[in-house]
A and B are shown apart, each in its own frame.
Chain A
Amino acid sequence: AQTVTQSQPEMSVQEAETVTLSCTYDTSESDYYLFWYKQPPSRQMILVIRQEAYKQQNATENRFSVNFQKAAKSFSLKISDSQLGDAAMYFCALLADSNYQLIWGAGTKLIIKP
């Protein structure tokens, strides 16, 4: 069975500082993809960043970057220069190449302190 675990129900960070959200996963698949989605209070589910498992280089999208440790099955999200608009629930998700079902973590609520 495939699983995704987000062990931090809630995190808070001061505006302009850096925060890291944790995610671990388990899969027996060799080809898979990992995602971070953001869900602000509007409830819209927004793709933040994605990582292909076969790529060793960590994905980066502006202020968002990941630390992908394949052997440890860890996929953390780093948000630099946190902004008030970053406040949201963040979900980590796994997609195995053999099917199209996203496996979701429970989410981490990120609070930005002004």
Chain B
Amino acid sequence: DAGVIQSPRHEVTEMGQEVTLRCKPISGHDYLFWYRQTMMRGLELLIYFNNNVPIDDSGMPEDRFSAKMPNASFSTLKIQPSEPRDSAVYFCASSLAAGVGQETQYFGPGTRLLVL
């Protein structure tokens, strides 16, 4: 299996621009998670989906952030407009819905976002 795929791996943009991060979970995984990692706050869960439905978005910092999962193999995290404080590494992770190993989240390589 290719693992969780994220794109782009690096993104540099200017303040005020829209940023879209993409994720393809592991095939057969029904849970998808978006995390943000910064030096100050460590790893933060932003939102997670089950069967393409958002279950908990309480970690989304503000209305500038939105996430969608139109189908089982694709999700996006959008920031509009972006701000310098959004600079971080954004991870996508996925896990099985049930069965042995269901509890384990497998991470993508992350997208390093820099907002100037």
Residues of A whose CB lies within 8 Å of any CB of B are 33, 35, 37, 42-47, 50, 91, 95, 97, 100-102, 104, 106-107
Contact = CB atoms under 8 A, between A and B. Distances in A.
Contacts of B105: 95, 102
A45 B31 contact: no
Best-surrounded residue of B56, B103, B112 (most CB of chain A within 10 A): B103
B5 interface: no
Chain B interface extent, by class: 20 to 34
Contacts of A101: 45, 48, 56
Contact of A91 (B33, B43, B45, B106): B43
The prevalent SS among residues of B at the interface is strand
Given A33-B103, A47-B104, A100-B95, A42 B109 contact: yes
Best-surrounded residue of B45, B50, B105, B110 (most CB of chain A within 10 A): B105
Interface of B: 31, 33, 37, 42-43, 45, 48, 50, 55-56, 89, 91, 93, 95, 103-107, 109-110, 112
A102 B56 CA distance: 13
A106 to B, nearest CB: 6
Contacts of A102: 43, 45, 105
A15 B33 CA distance: 36
B104 A35 contact: yes
Contacts of B103: 33, 50, 95, 97
A32 B93 CA distance: 19
